[in-house]
Amino acid sequence: MIEQDENIFGWQNLWMLALILLGIYLVVRLLRISIERYMTQNRIGNRLKLNSKRFELFYIPMAWLMVILGFVAINLLWHGVFAGVVAIFAFPYLRNYVSGIFLKSNPMLEVGALVQNEGTRGLINRVSSLGLILGTDTGEQFVWYRDFERMGFSVIAQQANQQRQSLYLKSEKSSAEILDILFANPVLSFGKSTSLRATKTKGVYLFHFTLEKGASADDINIFLASHEIETGQTDKFE
């Protein structure tokens, strides 16, 4: 007769599994950082960077799935019921997270890319676990991955090619005065869809711009700070 304490899978096995998966993740993460830092910008290097990013994207949810299955295997009845209840309540977020994995594996969807879908057009300011934060003409907007995928989208331009960016500016100066100051900055390329729009907050503007090749965002931040114009990634200023 098999005793009850001779379970095929126990807590000790679960901890071992979690440590092994964590170790593999750390190795994958280290390899990805090394590839991004030391590989040259050529076809092979870019392909390795893309594949390492995709592998990490898909490895994380698969590792969590293995841990959850191990947790359920310890006690099929009670742990299974608990995992099922959590999955039911978290299903919308889980479905959205899975949609995000496939979208983030698309090399065109990166920070700085100009995207457009049904009723929304803006620059990708940040990429989170559950959605995209877009910088639009009316301010920052959060878009769920599931909605973004369902409505369809198009990538108009990528930062890698045109270095398009967006910043929020805060100043007591008028928009005309700010534009006069900006036109004096040589790092800006004004021939490529530069715009300055007032937001709903008084004294706060959304600035879409393109940098000249070799320029960085720090150059424009330092320049604006010298003219007493605050900059930020959101429209929230202290």
pLDDT in tens, 87-114: 899 888 888 888 888 888 777 777 777 7
| 127-172 pLDDT tens trace | 888 888 887 766 777 888 888 777 767 666 555 444 567 788 888 8
pTM > 0.75: yes or no: no
Q: What are residue 131's DSSP bridge partners? A: 144
Are 94 and 16 within one domain? yes
Looking at the 3D structure of the chain, how many domains does it have?
A: 2
Asked if residue 147 belongs to a domain, the reply is no
Asked if residue 117 belongs to a domain, the reply is no
Asked if residue 95 belongs to a domain, the reply is yes
Asked if residue 26 belongs to a domain, the reply is yes
CB atoms within 10 A of CB 107: 15
Asked if residue 111 belongs to a domain, the reply is no
In angstroms, the CA 100 to CA 225 distance is: 36
Asked if residue 2 belongs to a domain, the reply is no
Asked if residue 49 belongs to a domain, the reply is yes
Asked if residue 51 belongs to a domain, the reply is yes
DSSP state at residue 192: S
Last residue of a domain, one of 55, 71, 104: 104
Range of the domain at 27: 11-104
Buried b (16+ CB within 10 A) or exposed e, 182-199: beebebbbeeeebeeeeb
| CATH number assigned to the domain comprising residue 171 | 3.30.70
